[in-house]
Amino acid sequence: MLDYILRRIITMVPTLLVISFLIFLIIELPAGDYISNQIAALRSSGEASAVAKLEFLRAEFALDRPFLERYLIWVGLWSGPHGFDGLLQGNWGWSFEFNKPVEEVIGPTLPMTIILNFTTILFVYIVSFPIGIYSATRQYSWGDYGFTFLGYIGLATPNFLLGLILLYLFNRWFGLSIGGLMASEYIDQPWSMGKALSVLAHLVVPTIVIGTAGTAAMIRRLRANLLDELHRQYVTTGRAKGLKERKLLVKYPLRMALNPFISDIGNLIPSLVSGSVIVSVVLNLPTVGPVLLSALQSQDQFLAGFVLLFVAGLTLVGMLVSDLLLAVLDPRIRLGGRAAS
Amino acid sequence: MTDARDTTHYVNPAPFNPIEDEVLTPEQERYYQASQWQIMWWKFKTHKLALWSGVVLILFYLCVPFAEVIAPYTPNTRDSEYLYAPPQALHFFHDGQFVGPFVYGQTSEVDLTNMKWVFTDDPNQVQPLRFFCFGTEYKFWGLFDANFHLVCPAEGGTMFLLGTDRLGRDQLSGLIYGARLSLTIGLVGVTISIVLGLFFGGIAGYFGGVADSLIQRLIEIMRSLPELPLWMALSAALPVNWSPVWIYLGLTIILGLLDWPGLARAVRSKLLSLREEEYARAAVLMGAKPQRVITRHLLPGFTSHIIASATLSIPSMILGETALSFLNLGLRRPSVSWGVLLNEAQNISVVTVYPWLMAPVIPIIIVVLAFNFLGDGLRDAADPYK
């Protein structure tokens, strides 16, 4: 098992490298950089002294170097103006817009992002599991049709629109603002029971909004898998021999249908994380979503780059966890060695 | 009648026809001689939901070439008398008398406490809609001037069936024009993604070896990336001073650029299995070049699958465009798409007062649902021999 975990983690390293390169490429796509744009603006207004200072800053952040060198400096594999000082050394870069280290800008939002994504995944698991089993065991019942219909609606409604609609309805019916992640009186207060409860209450709507599409997809998947198993002959044999329905279901078919269920969650994580970014913008949640949007709009490249990398890393970790879960559940993968990886 | 005790040998007097069992009924004959596409169509027809979704989509797509004629106004026509005017209800009877479709005129007054215009229906102003009429001027396809519409407001009247926005622009016309960009962006994006998917999947599946494992790795990495943040970053990189057409093309490329891995994976696995078929091997042995083997012998075997899975990825592109435009990162005015229209609804306090700004949500949901059903139906029909 330890062997498997280790191997699985090691394969993540090259993936992360490729991803970081792709991300750096993307954030460097716009013409110029934050500082050279400022220089151009200052030049046109004729402020020469400020220009010199900004030129100095450009050199300071290695923005005047060639592309590949800049990338390696950002990651921390190349000696920059201050020696090896990049992501690997724990320096997340500098946010030009806020004039602060990136760490300070997004530090507070990171735990919230992780909490939000974690609760969403939990929500998807908890809701889709019983409904999937119900739909499969009572195929073509009214409940099954109802959930299928709801599922289609959930799949078709883009999550940010669902957020917008819920925001409107809550405002309309309860006069309640569901934006933000806690009631306004708790902002900047130390953690207390009341604050934790308030955060929990505010987590409900975003979790549902982000998780709906995924839940619908998982229900569909689990239902199909379980139905395949339930029509196998061993189930008929078991039933003929007088096995209790409950035991008959739980003992074999459910275990078989569980594997794809777990591995599919891994495939779902990228879209969940995607959803959390845009829903956070709509519902005004203090996660990395709104930070990313403003950073992209103002071309605050290191901030945007780090957020993108963080989001991608979060996805990778999520997929890792789902793979490990799968290994725990399925001895074929755990012991299968090379075949599994 | 043969009796159990009757031991005489019975011989059928009718002449014996050895191929009697193999003679096909006309229906069977038709089935066996039909082309693959013909059989797919028969199979698809039985899937009623998919069929109707197709019809709905065709209706929506009619807005693409004929937006100018269908819409009563142009999307950027401003009526400063009617800012944030609520939807006008369509009536048929006035004072118990049948008039045909008409709307009541609206009178407006300022509500100084809430600082907004309040519109009320004026029951004395009956404004019957005109059909096949001449109204607001437009440039048909941007080429020649015209003013013919399917439906127009009464002379001197208004017709805001879905209300107006902040600048007094008609929402319904916006939706009809918006369909043009919103609906085509998915098609163009999917075309790009199919080309990329065929290229990479084709190389991986046909040549195998190093190319295969490299492309496999790339696909895995791309699939583990969250799409939307990358779309956001890429479209933020589009220069602001580009013309709307270029922004549109740029967006389609961005949407297609991240979507191909799923298709490439399907192409690869299909190719791997088809490559082993005897007819493919025969072609190789007869000296056909890889390009010919792939395009002439292998591609026709899974075109239907590609079409089906492409249909299923169109909705995610439509939603992607909507999300980007909603966030101000995609299309901007004067281009009109459903995402651009929704952009007006970004501020929740505005939406609470003027809920009709959320109208674009409805066509988006209908189109996405229809594409999903259609794709499901096509996928089932793609394997007609099952």
Concatenated DSSP letters for B346-366? -SHHHHHH-GGGGTTHHHHHH
Q: Residue A131 is encoded by which pair of tokens? A: 């409904």
Interface check for A217 against chain B (CB to CB < 8 A): the answer is: no
- Other CB atoms within 10 Å distance of the CB of residue B216: 15
* Chain-chain contact of B237 with A30 (C-beta, under 8 angstroms): yes
Asked whether residue B3 carries a pLDDT value surpassing 70, the answer given is no
Cβ contact, residue pair A278, B228, below 8 Å: yes
Contacting residues of B for A293, CB less than 8 Å apart: 232, 327, 329
Indicate yes or no: CB of B315 within 8 angstroms of CB of A296.
no
Is residue B13 domain-resident?
no
A117 in Cβ contact with A276 (< 8 Å): yes
Are B234 and A156 an interchain contact pair (Cβ–Cβ within 8 Å)? Answer: no
The CA-to-CA distance between both ends of chain A, in Å, stands at: 13
Are B270 and B364 within one domain?
yes
Task: Say yes or no: A283 contacts chain B, CB-CB below 8 A.
Answer: no
Do B345 and B212 fall within a single domain? Answer: yes
Residues with Cβ within 8 Å of B311's Cβ and at least 6 positions away in sequence, in order, are B371, B374, B375, B378
Contact residues, chain A, for B228 at CB < 8 Å: 274-275, 277-278
Say yes or no to pLDDT of B56 above 90. yes
Q: Tell me whether A161 touches chain B (CB under 8 Å).
A: yes
- Is B14 part of a structural domain of the chain? no
Digit-by-digit pLDDT tens for chain A (341 residues) are 788 888 888 888 888 888 999 888 888 887 777 777 777 777 777 666 777 777 777 777 777 788 888 888 888 877 777 777 778 887 788 888 888 888 888 888 888 889 889 899 899 989 999 999 998 888 888 988 888 888 888 887 888 888 888 878 877 777 666 666 666 666 667 777 777 777 777 788 888 888 888 898 888 888 888 888 888 898 999 989 988 888 888 888 888 888 888 887 777 888 888 888 888 888 888 888 888 988 888 888 888 888 889 988 888 888 888 888 888 887 777 776 544 43
Average pLDDT over residues B16-43: 79
Q: Using the beta-carbon criterion (under 8 Å), do A27 and B322 form an inter-chain contact?
A: no
Inspect the interface and report whether the beta carbons of A277 and B232 lie closer than 8 Å. yes
Q: What angle do CA B291, B297, B300 make, to 5 degrees?
A: 110
Taking contacts as CB-CB distances below 8 angstroms, the residues of chain B near A307 are: 229
Measured between CA atoms, the residue of chain A closest to residue B330 is A297
Nearest CA in chain A to B315: A156
Question: Which residue range(s) make up the domain with B88?
Answer: 71-169
Sorting pLDDT into bands at 50, 70 and 90, what band is B55?
A: very high
| Judgement on whether residues B277 and B183 belong to the same structural domain of the protein | yes
User: B282 and B141, same structural domain?
Assistant: no
Contacts of A321 by beta carbon, 8 Å cutoff, 6+ apart: none
| Residue contact B226–A297, C-beta within 8 A | no
Among B117, B138, B169, where does a domain finish? B169
Query: Is position B376 within any domain?
Result: yes
Alpha helices (H) along A32-108 = 34-45, 48-60, 67-75, 102-106
Do B220 and A164 make contact, defined as CB atoms within 8 angstroms? no
Nearest to A26 among B228, B230, B352 (CB): B230
B294 shares its domain with B185: yes
The candidate with the shortest Cα–Cα distance to B127, out of B158, B88, B96, B95, is B158
Please tell me the distance from the alpha carbon of residue B310 to that of residue B186, in angstroms, as a whole number. 10
Same domain, B302 and B219: yes
Give contacts of B363 with chain A, Cβ < 8 Å: none
How confident is the model at residue B13, as a pLDDT? 85
Please indicate whether, in this complex, the C-beta atoms of B232 and A296 are within 8 angstroms of each other. yes
Residues in chain A, overall count: 341
CB contact under 8 A, B223 and A168: no
Are residues A261 and A229 in contact, defined by beta-carbon separation less than 8 angstroms? no
Q: Closest residue of A to B328, CA-based?
A: A297
Residue that is last in its domain, among B169, B186, B212: B169
Q: C-alpha distances in angstroms, A220 versus A118, A231, A253?
A: 22, 17, 16
Question: CB-side exposure of B342: number of CA atoms within 13 Å?
Answer: 29
Pairing of strands A100-101, B91-94: unpaired
| B60 within domain boundaries | no
Please count the residues of chain B.
386
Cβ-defined contact of B364 to A158 (cutoff 8 Å): yes
Per-residue pLDDT band at B354 (split at 50, 70, 90): confident
Contact B345, B358 (CB under 8 A): yes
Which residues from chain B sit within 8 angstroms of residue A153, using beta carbons? Answer: 365, 369
Quick one: B229 and B205 in the same domain? Answer: yes
Residue B272 maps to a domain: yes
Distances (CA, A) of A81 to A33, A52, B354: 18, 18, 54
Q: Tell if the CB–CB gap between B230 and A316 is shorter than 8 Å.
A: no
Instruction: Give the B-side interface with A, CB within 8 Å.
Output: 220-221, 223-230, 232-234, 236-237, 239, 315, 319, 322-323, 326-329, 342, 345, 348, 351-352, 355, 358, 361, 364-365, 368-369, 372
Question: Per the structure, how many domains does chain B have?
Answer: 2
Residues B150 and B256 reside in one and the same domain: no
- Highest mean pLDDT of the ranges B140-144, B302-306, B323-327, B378-382: B323-327
Q: Do B137 and B192 share a domain, yes or no? A: no
**Under an 8 A CB cutoff, do B327 and A171 touch?**
no
Say if the Cβ atoms of B369 and A156 lie within 8 Å. yes
User: For position A340, what pLDDT does the model report?
Assistant: 40
Please indicate, yes or no, if residue B62 is contained in any of the structural domains. no
How many contacts (CB atoms, under 8 Å) link A and B?
117
How far is Cα B234 from Cα A10, in angstroms, rounded to an integer?
29
A311 near B CB under 8 A: yes
Which site among B214, B221, B365 would you substitute to test the A interface, given the most A Cβ atoms closer than 10 Å to its Cβ? Answer: B221
Mark yes or no for CB contact A152/B351 under 8 Å: no
Please indicate whether residue B188 or residue A183 has the higher confidence score (pLDDT): B188
Residues in chain A within 8 Å Cβ distance of B224 = 15, 19, 270, 312, 315-316, 319
Q: How far is A15 from chain B (nearest CA, A)?
A: 6
Domain range annotation of chain A:
33-60, 110-169+206-285
Nearest residue of B to residue A23 by CA position? B230
- Name the domain boundary from B129, B146, B169: B169
- Give the pLDDT of residue B380: 81
Tokens of B312: 């299923």
Q: Please report, for residues A90, A291, A309, B361, the alpha-carbon distance to residue A295 in angstroms, rounded to integers and kept in the order given.
A: 20, 6, 14, 28
For residues B145 and B182, state if they share a domain. no
A241 to chain B, closest Cα gap in Å: 33
Tokens (6 digits) for B21? 């069992």
Which residue in B has a C-alpha nearest to residue A298's C-alpha? B236
Nearest to B221 among A18, A31, A281 (CB): A18
Nearest chain A residue to B229 by CA: give it: A274
The single-letter code of the amino acid at B23 is V
Residues B280 and B257 in one domain: yes
Q: CB neighbours (10 Å) of residue B341?
A: 28
CATH number at residue B221: 1.10.3720.10
Is the CB of B224 less than 8 angstroms away from the CB of A293?
no
Residue B5 in any domain: the answer is no
